Amino acid sequence: MGVVGSFIGKLSKTYIAYFAEGGTVAEEVISSIRNTSAFHTQEKLARQYDTYLIKAEKAGYKLKSTTSSMIGFIFLFIYLNYGLAFWMGSRFLVEGSVGLSQILTIQMSIMIGAFALGNVAPNIQAVTSAIAAANKIYAVIDRVSPLDPASTEGEKLDTIQGNVELRDIKHVYPSRPDVVVMDCVNLLIPAGKSTAIVGASGSGKSTIVGLIERFYDPVGGSVYIDNHDVKDLNLSWLRKQISLVSQEPVLFSTSIYDNIKHGLIGTTQEHGSGEAIHELVERAAKTANMRWVCTGFITSILTLCRFQFFLCFTAIIFGAESAGTVFAYAPDLAKARNAAASLKSLFDRKPEIDSWSQDGRKAQSIEGHIEFKDVHFRYATRPDQPVLRGLNLQIKPGQYVAFVGASGCGKSTAIALLERFYDPISGSILIDGVEISSFNVNEYRSHLALVSQEPNLYGGTIRENILLGTDRDNVSEEELVRCCKDANIYDFIISLPSGLDTPVGSKGCMLSGGQKQRVSIARALVRQPKILLLDEATSALDSESEKVVQTALDTAAQGCTTIAVAHRLSTVRKADVIYVFNQGRIVEFGTHEELVQEKGTYFELVNLQSLNKA
pLDDT surpassing 90 at residue 39: no
Contact 388, 373 (CB under 8 A): no
**What number of residues does the chain have?**
614
- For residues 550 and 24, the model is more confident at 24
Query: pLDDT category, 196, cuts 50, 70, 90?
Result: confident
CA distances from 536 to 328, 521, 586 (A): 54, 11, 19
The secondary structure of 118-185 as a DSSP string is HHHGGGHHHHHHHHHHHHHHHHHHH---SS-TT---SB--S-----EEEEEEEEEETTEEEEEEEEEE
User: What does CATH list as the number for 370-380+397-612?
Assistant: 3.40.50.300
CATH architecture of the domain with range 1-142: Up-down Bundle (1.20)
User: pLDDT (tens digit, 9 = 90+) per residue, 506-534?
Assistant: 878 888 777 888 888 888 888 888 899 98
Give me the residue spans of the domains in the chain.
1-142, 151-248, 253-297, 370-380+397-612
pLDDT surpassing 90 at residue 376: yes
**What is the rounded distance in angstroms from the CA atom of residue 78 to the CA atom of residue 326?**
19
**pLDDT at residue 17, as a whole number:** 83
pLDDT surpassing 50 at residue 295: no
Domain 151-248: which CATH number of 3.40.30.10, 2.70.98.20, 3.30.479.30, 3.40.50.300: 3.40.50.300
Query: Which one, of 549, 467, 469, 525, lies nearest residue 500 by Cα?
Result: 467
Contact 402, 605 (CB under 8 A): no
**What is the rounded distance in angstroms from the CA atom of residue 232 to the CA atom of residue 235?**
9
**What is the rounded distance in angstroms from the CA atom of residue 163 to the CA atom of residue 188?**
8
CA distances from 374 to 98, 99, 265, 386, 389 (A): 99, 98, 47, 13, 8
Query: Which one, of 517, 526, 531, 527, lies nearest residue 563 by Cα?
Result: 531
pLDDT surpassing 50 at residue 614: no
Residue 544 zone, left/alpha/beta (φ > 0; ψ -120 to 50; rest): alpha
CA atoms within 13 A on the CB side of 534: 34
| Fold matches, 1-142 and 151-248 | no
Distance in angstroms between the alpha carbons of the first and the last residue of the chain: 78
- For residues 566 and 127, the model is more confident at 566
**pLDDT at residue 298, as a whole number:** 44
**What is the rounded distance in angstroms from the CA atom of residue 114 to the CA atom of residue 76?**
11
**pLDDT at residue 371, as a whole number:** 93
